Structure 1
Amino acid sequence: MKNTDLGIFILRLSLGVLMLLHGIAKLIYGIDPLIGMMDQFGIPGFFVYGVYVGEVIAPIMLIISYRTKIAALLYVATMLVAIFLAHPADILALTQSGGWAIELQALYLFGPLALFFTGGGKMALSKASKWD
């Protein structure tokens, strides 16, 4: 039995909830460490507020499947920034057990990328546009 829409729903829900937990932590504990990291790269500190878009707003959009493709792109952009700013040395590295050093970040990157191409499925709130 094949149920692609249920699979997309599970992917949307799991990616949304898992990233939203990161966003909630930043809402509770703040983003000051990220501002310092941005300063090290010469990026103005106010750009760090984009983390709320990528870790709170985009995950909520995925969970309810409102403009899934836009939410997925925001999520992907957030992960690209996280990988290139926080884990640049790990991009080509393997762990002692042979796994990719950024495998978790890669899952958070490629999962929403897949959703960009599939859309939100039939269980989506917004189904009437190309950005579902």
Structure 2
Amino acid sequence: MMNDIAKLILRLTLGLMILFHGFEKIINGIKGVKQLVVNAGLPEFFAYGVYIGELALPILIIMGFYSRVASVLLAFNMIMAIFLAYYNSIFELGKHGAPVIELPFLYFIISVVVFLLGSGKYAVNSK
């Protein structure tokens, strides 16, 4: 039971934190993401994938509905975020001494952990 509660807490934390980033994109748009995508030499329409990564996937993870698939896709999304936003500064430290990629890297690791552990008992499609 405690393992299932821990999985639920992990899913809720990851999903809710990413969802806030998605809400920010709805409110302020994705102009900055489009610029990052174009600067990387990718088609501009790839930027719209941020809505999947920061809105749809977190909702699936929160609900525990195909959360393993959603977490793998979210991990890929975080790799893309690191590549697009931090490719020139991946190994740099921020003003507080932590790596500048700290937050997307943590989201990546938590996504991998959700994939490895699964949704647990408290999920829409639990077994």
User: Under TM normalisation by the shorter chain, which class is it?
Assistant: over 0.9
What's the RMSD between the two structures over aligned residues? Answer: 1.4
Number of residues of Structure 1 aligned to a counterpart in Structure 2: 127
Partner of 2:27: 28
What is the aligned partner in structure 2 of residue 38 from structure 1?
37
Structure 2 residue 108 is the aligned partner of structure 1 residue 102: no
CA distance in 2, matches of 1:100, 1:29: 26
Contact 1:5 1:123 in 2 (8 A): yes
Aligned to 2:73: 74
Normalising by structure 1, report the TM-score. 0.89
Give the CA deviation at 1:35: 1.1
Flag structure 2 segments of 5+ consecutive residues without an equivalent. none
Q: How far does residue 55 in structure 1 lie from its aligned partner after superposition? A: 0.2
Alignment of 1:110-121 (within 5 A): 110-121=109-120
Normalized against structure 2, the TM-score is what?
Answer: 0.93
Which whole-Å CA distance do the structure 2 matches of 1:29 and 1:35 have between them?
A: 13
- 2:39 is aligned with 1:6: no
Structure 1 residue runs of 4+, over 3 Å off?
95-98
- CA pair 82-127 structure 1, distance change in 2 beyond 3 A: same
